[in-house]
Amino acid sequence: MRPQRRLFPIGFVLTVALSIVLFAREASAQLHWDASVQVGAMKRFLAERPSGGGDVGFGPTAQLTTHVALLPLLRVGAYVAHDISPLPGDGSARNITAGGLRAKGVFPLGPQARAWAFVGFGYAGVFQQSYETTIAMPTGAGTIESRAVRVEEAGGSFFDVPFGVGASYRLRKPWELCAELGARTGFGHVGSVYEYPGPQVKAAGLPDQNVVPAGLDRFAVGLTLGVLLDL
């Protein structure tokens, strides 16, 4: 009876260990995830621009996304995106990098194609390099004259909400071509690139001044193309 008593806990441990291994293998086999790399173009629209201020132009954009399937048609994951938003005139382009969480609902379009709708929530950081320009500035004699000045670098941040639709076509499993038509909204803007008095201006022989912020990044639209890995 003693040998049997000694073998019982060993057999129990082996049974539990085997069950864990089989469960892990089954869970791994059922786990589905995807990742994509996309590049394209984006157009931002500035809100609350100063009187006479121009809007920004089209700029390049790139993004990385990854998702894990919670349900057959629902996936959640994360995103990292970057775009360059050129200001009109002499102003240097603003570099905007955003990252956060996102979810997408997938809709099969056949054996090799599918579409999806996505929405996310994240945070964006903004950096604008310094640049040289000419502006009208008050002088010590009480007059105004055009002076060559240096606008110092500025930064800021805001909450980022991306949303849109996408589609993919399978080339050869697990590789797919993909495209997304997306939009972004922003709120909670802070930093010298957005808040008054704005970026600082340096001019030789004159007291420091500031330029009025170009506006707030409230809305943007973009189109991206890329490659998706689906496993």
Peptide bond into 207 cis (omega under 30): no
pTM over 0.85: no
**Blockwise average pLDDT, block size 10, the chain, 231 residues:** 48 48 44 94 95 90 97 95 92 95 96 96 96 75 77 96 98 96 98 94 78 94 98 91
Residue 14, H or E segment: helix 2-30
Quote the pLDDT of residue 134: 82
Quote the pLDDT of residue 15: 53
Strand partners, 164: 118, 182
Beta strands 94-108 and 144-151: pairing type?
Answer: unpaired
Quote the pLDDT of residue 207: 73
Q: % helix / strand / coil in the chain, to the nearest 5?
A: 15, 60, 25
Quote the pLDDT of residue 220: 98
